[in-house]
Structure 1
Amino acid sequence: MKHTYTITLLLFSLFITAHLIGLGVINSYLNVTPEGVEWKSLPSIAGVEVERPDVAPQYSIWYILFAVLFGTVLILFIIKFKTMMLWKIWFTLAVTLCLFIAFAAFVRPSFAFSLALVLGLIKVFKPNIYVHNLTEIFVYGGLAAIFVPILDVMYAFILLLLLSVYDMYAVWKSKHMVSMAQFQTKSGIFAGLLIPYSKTGISVKTTSKTAAKQTAKSVKTAVLGGGDIGFPLIFSGTVLAASGFVNAFIVSLFAGLALMCLLLLSQKDKFYPAMPFLTAGCVAGFLVTLLI
């Protein structure tokens, strides 16, 4: 088993919470009319509209894959040349935008932006585990509200398949996904859930800080990458648009159960591509919705 039962249940609970909130965010931007589904516009920032990509579903998967590859190349560039400020600026902008879209589903846009900006800055420049995970359970709802409207169930499924293949290659073959995860964890700016172990499970390296000494503390943590939360949520969001909240949550629940199975069956200190398991869970959940 990769983590303790407590950590495993906590990761599962936060995954489901992020999906519940995310589905609520997506639903708030959705209008179901007799003529079909209509999507509300995203909120504007200082009068400037935030627009979704204007692409058809059959092309949107390539748009999203290109964005994933571009982000990967950028992170690898940052790792190689140690341009941490670029990483912080990019991450702050992305997090603030997604949080703004998520919060604006529930509160006035002006307050949503202020709250998103404050939390985004704290998350990056004054990180702590509570703000980090609080923002993580909201940020993917904002991301999904951008991309779900340009997909449908079939193309979202194809996207999951392609991402599963990429994830397996990136973890088992090229291993650059492992390098990126380690870099983000060490930098303290991680796209995904971070759960520190209890005192009995903490691995600490400490040196005292005096006039000539520095203090560094490394705490053992369990992580779940942001893509492993966000992409299954996008698939669930397309199910929400097609057949309602209950069916979408069933898909998310099965994805969460697939994640739990992976965590229970995997071994400590080994890296596994989660997307193939999450995709299988999404498909199983979707098939269940067809039977009820």
Structure 2
Amino acid sequence: GAILIYFFAVVLVLAVVLFVIPLSALKVLFRALFAFLFSWGVFIVQVFWMPLIPSIIIALAVGTLWFFMPRIWLHNIIMILTMVSLGAVFGRLVSPWTAMILLLVIAVYDFLAVRFGFMTWMAKKMESSDSLPAFVIPASIDGWKTSLKSPKNAAVPSIEIENSPEHFNHSILGGGDIGFPLLLTSAVYFSLGFNSALLVAAFSLAGLICAYLIQSYIIKGKPMPALPPIALFSLIGLLVVI
């Protein structure tokens, strides 16, 4: 319950901030906040197998590098490290069923947010601020070297999974589409062991692939919430291992 309250409170505060305060005034603030969060994510990944001081130095260096040079390839690598850190930390604190219920509730929110345009609006705002809590998949290999601050990236509309031929430049996969399944996988690992966690992770990946196939071949590039199919497949995986 506390996790859900915290999540929706963050979403509400973020929406109000994006609506009220001009983006020009938020760019540096958001970039600094993301740099801090990314540094934390890199630190958590390292501190379990490296000495404390080198872990802090490397984490701060990576966060600073992203702040000044947010290349898409670097952004995606740091995003996955941060998602893994979040899953590892919070997965130890919740049971598998708590994580599953959280995933299902967020999946409903994801569906409604995309259906009524809130997710698209917020993603556009965040992308225009040069800070995006999502994975960016360019259309070409050269696109991986592009900066998030590139004008052509800022001009492209954003949705959770975008693959529209009219303005295809890159696809976007929300960080929560990876983060919440990782939370579930981590919770399963700490409660039921590695093999069970691996199976749940495989089902979650199957859900992500299903979302991509639906978005690409059925709804033809229209906005697609990825979490509902991910949550459904994750639930099946959890039922298999319980």
TM-score by length of 1: 0.67
Computed over aligned residues only, the root mean square deviation of the Cα atoms, in angstroms, reads 2.7
Out of 278-287 and 81-90, give the one that drifted further. 81-90
State how far apart, in whole Å, the 2-side matches of 1:68 and 1:246 are: 34
1:197 to 134, 139, 148: 139
1:225 to 174, 178, 181: 174
User: Which residue is 2:199 aligned to?
Assistant: 250
Which structure: larger Rg? 1
- The alignment covers a number of residue pairs equal to 220
1:178 to 120, 128, 134: 120
Q: Residues 208-246 of structure 1: CA distance to partner in whole angstroms, max 9, x if unpaired? A: xxxxxxx94448111111111101111111111110112
User: Which residue is 1:92 aligned to?
Assistant: 35
User: Which residue is 1:121 aligned to?
Assistant: 64
Q: 2:110, 2:225 within 8 Å by CA — same for their partners in 1?
A: yes
State how far apart, in whole Å, the 2-side matches of 1:101 and 1:68 are: 24
Summarize the alignment of residues 260-271 of structure 1 with structure 2, pairs less than 5 Å apart.
Answer: 260-266=209-215, 267-271=219-223
Q: Residues 50-87 of structure 1: CA distance to partner in whole angstroms, max 9, x if unpaired? A: xxxxxxxx544434443444444444555667521221
User: Which residue is 2:108 aligned to?
Assistant: 165
User: Which residue is 2:187 aligned to?
Assistant: 238
State how far apart, in whole Å, the 2-side matches of 1:162 and 1:94 are: 24
Q: 1:192, 1:225 within 8 Å by CA — same for their partners in 2?
A: yes
Q: 2:23, 2:129 within 8 Å by CA — same for their partners in 1?
A: no
- Structure 1 residue runs without a partner (length 5+): 1-57, 202-214
- Structure 2 residue runs without a partner (length 5+): 144-149, 154-167
State how far apart, in whole Å, the 2-side matches of 1:88 and 1:271 are: 26
Q: 1:124, 1:189 within 8 Å by CA — same for their partners in 2?
A: no
Q: 1:78, 1:86 within 8 Å by CA — same for their partners in 2?
A: no
Q: Residues 35-58 of structure 1: CA distance to partner in whole angstroms, max 9, x if unpaired? A: xxxxxxxxxxxxxxxxxxxxxxx5
Secondary structure of 2:48's match? coil
**Cα drift, residue 264 of structure 1:** 1.0
Q: Which amino acid aligns with 1:161?
A: L
Q: 2:66, 2:75 within 8 Å by CA — same for their partners in 1?
A: yes
Higher helix proportion (structure 1 or 2): 2
Q: Which amino acid aligns with 1:84?
A: K
Secondary structure of 2:92's match? helix
Q: 2:86, 2:179 within 8 Å by CA — same for their partners in 1?
A: yes
Higher relative contact order (CA 8 A, sep 6+): 1
State how far apart, in whole Å, the 2-side matches of 1:97 and 1:141 are: 11
Out of 256-265 and 178-187, give the one that drifted further. 178-187
Secondary structure of 1:224's match? strand
State how far apart, in whole Å, the 2-side matches of 1:110 and 1:199 are: 36
